[in-house]
Structure 1
C-alpha cells in the first residue's frame, strides 16, 4: 500500500481522529470509513434494474456501472468516508417523542397538505455538498494535496451499501439505513479519497422479525424484506415519475403531495431520531409553512410563487406541473372524504378554476379529482 502524500502510515489514525472532530463541528453526527469492496451489491442492483423496479429513473440504468465501482469516479480512490447529518427541525412539534404520532395525525386530516419531512427546509443536496467540500478542503490544508471527490445522493454512489459496510447502521427492510442512536431521519454524504485510512467494522442488523414498515406502506411498495418496487412508492410517484400517476395509486396517496414518510414514521428505531445540529438549525426549519399548510393554500400558488417560494428547495426540481398534479390528486381524495357541503363546494370550485390553464396532464388529474365527488 502506498503512503499518502505528505503523511506517513503512522499518522493516519491521527488524521482519522481529526476528521471526527471536524465533521462534528460542521454539523455531521457521525463519520465512518470503508474500503471499496461492494460484494454482491452491484449484482443486486443489476437484478433490480432488470426487473424494471426503478420505474422511469433512467439515470439509474445509465450510471449502473459507475455505481458498481467508485474508481470509475475517482481512479485513485482507496476509501469512502460516509457521513451522517440529522435533519429533524428545531420546532415544538419535535420537542418530545410524540412527533411521529403528530405526523401520522396529519395524514388523517384530508385537507392538510403533507410534505415529506426532509423537504420542508432548504435543499439538503446543497447543504451536504458545501459541508463535505469544507471538510475536504480543511483536510487538504492539514496534510497537503490528495485526490478526493465529494458525493451526495445525486452522484452514482451506492451510499447505503458503503454506510452499512462502515458500520454507520444497517439496511432496514424498507431499504433505508437505520442507526441505533438516530433511526433513519438523516442524510448521507460521501467523500471518496485516495488516503488509506483505517476502516471501520460493520454493525449488526436489528430489525429482527419486525415488519412495521412493510405493513404500513399505503401502496405495498416494499414487496419483500429489503426489496422496494419504486413504481409503487409514493415518494417515487410524487417526485420522480414525470407523467400521469396510475389511477390505482391515486386514492392511496391521500394528502401526500411530495414524498412519503410512513415507513419511517412507524419504525420503532425512529423514537431515537434526532434534531439537526445547531449549525444546520435554520437550514432544516420548515419554509413557507410547509408543515402546516392546507391543500387549498398551496393549490392557489401561481407558478411565479411556486418558483420563488421553493427557491433553494428540493421541491423546486419537480416543477409546477407535477406540483399541481400531486395537489389535484390530494384534493380529489379530500373531496371524496368530505361530508361538509360548503367544503365540498370550495374544493370543486378551486379545481374547476384551474381547468384548461396548464397542461393536459394537469387537466386529466383535475378531472379525476372532480369525479371523486
Structure 2
C-alpha cells in the first residue's frame, strides 16, 4: 500500500543496493524556513549566485517547484575515497603546511557527484515504480531551487551544523545529498536532535571568517564560493587567506569532531583521480586549456573553466611566493601575458607578493 511504512523500508533497501547510505522522508511544508532564507538573501550573503534570489520562495515550496509533490525522498551518499586513511583529517590539514602543493576539495577529486547521484536517483525512482506502479516524480542533485539541507535535516539525515552543513553522529558531514520529489504520500522520518553543543571549531577555523554566526554563512567570504561560484576577480583582501586551496575548502569539515566518524564511499566513482591530488601548483598552472579539459573530463572542476582555474592557482602561487617558494615566480611569469585580463590581474598581484 502506497504510504505505508513497509514501502519506505523497501525504498531504503533499494537505495542501499545503489550505494546510498541513508534514505529519509520529508514533508513539503517548509514555511518556517522561509523567513531565514529571505533574510539571508536580503543581506546579500548569496553573492553572485543570482539564481538563488531569482527563485526566492520557490526553494521553500516544493509543491510550487514541482506541482503535485506531497512528499520528498531524501538520499545521502558518502564520498570519502575508498583509500582514505584513518587519520585523514590530519593528512588533509598537513597539505595546508606545504604552500607549493595544490589543494582540491576532497569531494571534487573524483567523478562529478551530480552525474553519479542523478543517475542513481533516476534508477531508484524506476525501481520504486516497479514496486508501486507509475508515479509522478522528479530527482534533484544540487541542480534546482531546492532547500537541500533543510529537507535533509527534517527527514532525519542529521542536524544543521554551525557551518550550515548537515551533520550525522555516525557519519559526520562527508556525504552528498539528493532528493526525489514524489506525488505519493509517505510517512515522514523523525528529525534528529542537534549535537554541536558549545563547540565552535568550524566557526573559529574558517580562514576568511565566512561563518558569521551559527548556521549563518556569508558566501561572499567563503573560499568554496570564491574559487568555484564567483565569476570575477577574487577580492584582494581575501586572497592571502586562501592559501594553497585552488578548488573549494574543507577546513570547517576537517576540524569537526564528528567527522572522525565519516564513512568511506562504497563506490569507486569518488576515488581520487591521478593528477588532482598531491600535485604542485606549478604543474597544474602549466596545463593548457586542452590539458585542463582532458584532466577534468567527468569532474566537477571542469565547470569553472580554464580561465578561473588559472585565476585560482595564480592566487595560490602568490601565497606560495610570499611563503618562500622561489619557483612560484617562474610559474607565474609564464602567464604574465595571458590573453585574459582576469588571469593577468591575478598573476600581477601574485608576483607582487615577492616584495
TM range (shorter): over 0.9
Aligned partners of 1:225, 1:138: CA distance in 2, in Å? Answer: 39
1:176 counterpart = 2:165: yes
2:215 — aligned with what? 226
Alignment partner of 2:141 out of 152, 162, 165: 152
Partners of 1:129 and 1:326 lie apart in 2 by 28
Match of 1:23 among 15, 18, 42: 15
CA contact (8 A) 2:38 2:57 kept: no
C-alpha distance in 1, partners of 2:272/2:191?
34
Report the alpha carbon displacement of residue 95 of structure 1 after superposing the two structures with TM: 2.8
The one of 62, 67, 72 aligned to 2:64: 72
> Could you say what secondary structure the match of 2:143 adopts?
coil
The 1-side partners of 2:114 and 2:105 are apart by 15
Give the corresponding residue for 1:210.
199
1:1-373 to 2 correspondences below 5 Å: 7=1, 12-91=4-83, 94-96=84-86, 98-277=87-266, 280=267, 282-338=268-324, 343-344=325-326, 346-373=327-354
Q: Given the two structures, how large is their TM-score scaled by the length of structure 2?
A: 0.98
Give CA-to-partner distance per residue, 1:53-97, whole Å, 9 cap, x none. Answer: 100000101112320211122211111111110000012xx231x
TM-score, normalising length from structure 1? Answer: 0.93
What CA distance in whole angstroms lies between the structure 2 residues aligned with 1:147 and 1:138?
Answer: 13
Output one character per residue of 1:113-161: Cα deviation in whole Å (capped at 9) or x when no partner.
0000000000000100000000001111111111011011121110111
Deviation at 1:39, TM superposition (A): 3.5
Work out the CA distance in 1 between the residues paired with 2:144 and 2:299: 18
- Structure 2 distance, partners of 1:90, 1:8, is 36
Q: Deviations over 1:296-343 (max 9, x none)?
A: 1101110001011111111000011100000000000000011xxxx5
Moved over 3 A (4+): none
- How many residues are treated as equivalent by the alignment? 354
Q: Contact conserved, 1:87 with 1:275, CA < 8 A, in 2?
A: yes
Distance in structure 1 (CA, Å) of the matches to 2:299 and 2:233: 23
Q: Give the whole-Å Cα distance in 2 for the aligned partners of 1:121 and 1:144.
A: 35
Q: Distance in 1 between matches of 2:2 and 2:288?
A: 59
Structure 2 residue aligned with 1:3: none
Counterpart-to-counterpart distance in 1, 2:263 and 2:339: 41
The 2-side partners of 1:77 and 1:265 are apart by: 36
Q: Residue 75 of structure 2 aligns to a residue in which SS?
A: strand
Offset, 1:356: 1.6
SS in 1 for 2:98: coil
Q: Whole-Å Cα distance in 1 between the matches of residues 339 and 117 of structure 2?
A: 35
For structure 2, which runs of at least 5 residues remain unmatched after alignment? none
Question: Does the 8 Å contact 2:20/2:77 carry over to 1?
Answer: yes
C-alpha RMSD over aligned residues: 1.0
Give me the whole-angstrom Cα distance separating, in 1, the residues matched to 2:8 and 2:107.
Answer: 29
- Gaps spanning 5+ residues in structure 1: where? 1-6
For the Cα contact (< 8 Å) 1:321–1:358, is it kept in 2? no
Quick one: distance in 1 between partners of 2:93 and 2:11? Answer: 38
